[in-house]
A and B are shown apart, each in its own frame.
Chain A
Amino acid sequence: MKTDRVDESMAQLLETAAPELSAGWEGRAMARLTATRPARGISRRLVLAAVGVAALVGLGFVPIPMGSAAGALERALAQAEQATTVHMTGHAWNPDGDYDFEMWASDDGFYRTDKLAGGQPVSVTLISGARRLDYGVADDDGKQYASELFDPTTHHLGGPKMPDRSYVEGFFQSFKRMHEQLGVPAPDMKISERRERSLLGITRDVIDAEWTVQGDGSISGVNYRDGDMVRMRYEIDPHTGRLLRVKQYKFEGTWEPRYEAEYVWDVEIPVNVRDFQPPQGTKLTRMLWWEKRVDQVVAQADTDDWGVSLHSLDVNREGDIVLSLSRQWKDESTLSRYMDSAPVIWVQAADNAGGRYTQLNRFSCYNTGTVGYWTTTLQRSSAAGNPSTVTLTVYPYVRKGRSPGQSVSFRNIPLPPRQNTDDLFAAETEVIQY
Chain B
Amino acid sequence: MAEKAVTEPDAIAVDAVDAHADDTLIRGLREAAPAACSELCQRFGPRLHRFAAARLGWDGQLAEDIAIQALADAIRNIRQFNPRKSTLSAWLYGVLRRQIIRELRRRGRQKWAPAEARVPFDHLDETTLEADPAGRLDAQLDARRQVTEVAAILTNIEFEVLVLSAVDELSAREIGQVVGRSERAIHSLLHRARTKARERLVRDED
Query: Footprint of B on A, CB under 8 Å?
Result: 2, 4-23, 25-26, 28-30, 32-34, 36-41, 43-44
| Interface-side segment among B17-25, B34-42, B102-110, B180-188 | B34-42
Cβ A18 vs Cβ B41 within 8 A: no
Alpha-carbon gap, A398 to B128, bound state (A): 114
Counting from the closest, the 9 A-B pairs by CB-CB distance are A19-B60, A16-B143, A17-B143, A7-B166, A33-B37, A10-B166, A20-B127, A17-B144, A18-B50
B30 touches A10 (CB 8 A): no
User: What's the Cα separation between A136 and B78 when bound, in Å?
Assistant: 61
- By the criterion CB–CB under 8 Å, are B143 and A22 in contact? no
A11 contacts B166, CB within 8 Å?
yes
Contacts of B203 in A (CB 8 A): none
B63 touches A14 (CB 8 A): no
Chain B residues with CB under 8 A of A25: 45, 49, 64, 68
Q: Which of B30, B37, B61 contacts A22 (CB 8 A)?
A: B61
Contact check: which of A4, A36, A40 meets B75 at CB < 8 Å? A36
Chain B residues 192 to 206 lying within 8 A of chain A, measured CB to CB, are 194, 197-198, 201
Residues of chain A with a CB closer than 8 A to B63's CB: 19
Task: Choose one: B34, B129, B140, B201; the contact of A6 (CB below 8 Å).
Answer: B201
Q: In chain B between 55 and 76, which residues have their CB closer than 8 angstroms to a CB of chain A? A: 58-61, 63-64, 67-68, 71-72, 75-76
Min C-beta distance of A315 to chain B, whole Å: 77
Q: Are B194 and A6 in contact (CB under 8 A)?
A: yes
A38 is contacted by which of B61, B78, B169, B201 (Cβ under 8 Å)?
B78
Interface residue from A8, A22, A32, A40 paired with B123 (Cβ < 8 Å): A22
Assess A19 versus B45: contact at CB under 8 Å? Given A6-B201, A10-B150.
no
Chain B residues contacting A15 (CB-CB under 8 Å) are: 50, 167
Contact of A33 among B30, B46, B71, B167 (CB under 8 A): B71
CA distance A28 to B198 in the complex (A): 39
CB distance from B126 to the nearest CB of A (A): 5
Given contacts A18-B50, A20-B128, A28-B68, contact A39 B77 (CB under 8 A): yes
Interface pairs (29), CB distance under 8 Å: A2-B169, A6-B162, A8-B166, A10-B166, A12-B143, A13-B150, A14-B54, A14-B167, A16-B142, A16-B143, A17-B147, A18-B54, A19-B119, A19-B123, A21-B46, A21-B64, A22-B64, A22-B126, A23-B126, A25-B49, A25-B64, A33-B68, A33-B75, A34-B34, A36-B72, A38-B77, A39-B77, A39-B79, A41-B79
Set of chain B residues within 8 Å of A2, measured between Cβ atoms: 166, 169
Nearest CB of chain A from residue B84's CB, rounded to whole Å:
13
Query: Please, which residues of chain B bring their CB within 8 A of the CB of A41?
Result: 79
What A residues does B41 contact at CB under 8 A? 26, 29-30, 33
Interface of chain A, helix or strand or loop or mixed?
helix
User: Residues of B at under 8 Å CB distance from A?
Assistant: 29-30, 32, 34, 37-38, 40-42, 45-46, 49-50, 53-54, 58-61, 63-64, 67-68, 71-72, 75-80, 119-120, 123, 126-129, 139-140, 142-144, 146-147, 150, 162-163, 165-167, 169, 194, 197-198, 201
User: Which residues does chain A contribute within 8 Å of B142, judged by CB atoms?
Assistant: 16
Question: In the complex the two chains form, what is the Cα distance from A26 to B20 in whole Å?
Answer: 25
The closest CB in chain B to the CB of A4 belongs to B194
CA distance in complex: A30, B75 (Å) = 12
- B59 to A, closest residue via Cβ: A19
Closest to A35 in B: B72
Are A38 and B54 within 8 A (Cβ)?
A: no
| Residue numbers in A under 8 Å from B120 (CB-CB) | 19
B193 closest partner in A (C-beta): A6
Would you call A14 and B75 a contact (CB within 8 A)? no
A21 interface neighbour in B45, B58, B143, Cβ under 8 Å:
B45
Distance (whole angstroms) from the CB of B191 to the closest CB of chain A: 10
Give the docked Cα–Cα distance between A402 and B165 (Å). 95
A38 with B30: CB separation less than 8 A: yes
Give bound CA distance, A11 to B194, whole Å. Answer: 12
- Interface-centre pick from A4, A18, A44 (highest chain B CB count, 10 A): A18
- In the assembled complex, the Cα of A115 lies from the Cα of B204 at a distance in Å of 66
State the CA gap A36–B58 with chains docked (Å): 27
Contact of B49 among A9, A13, A21, A34 (CB under 8 A): A21
Pick the contact of A37: B32, B42, B46 (CB < 8 A). Answer: B32
A26 nearest CB neighbor, chain B only: B41
Q: Which residues of chain B are within 8 angstroms of A38 by Cβ–Cβ distance?
A: 29-30, 32, 75-79
A18 contacts B53, C-beta separation under 8 Å = yes
**Cα A6 to Cα B60 with chains together (Å):** 25
Q: Given the complex of chains A and B, what is the CA–CA distance between A42 and B71 in angstroms?
A: 21
Determine which residue in A6, A17, A19, A30 has the highest number of CB atoms from chain B within 10 A of its CB, and name it.
A19
Contacts of A32 in B (CB 8 A): 68, 71-72
The chain B residue with its CB closest to the CB of A25 is B64
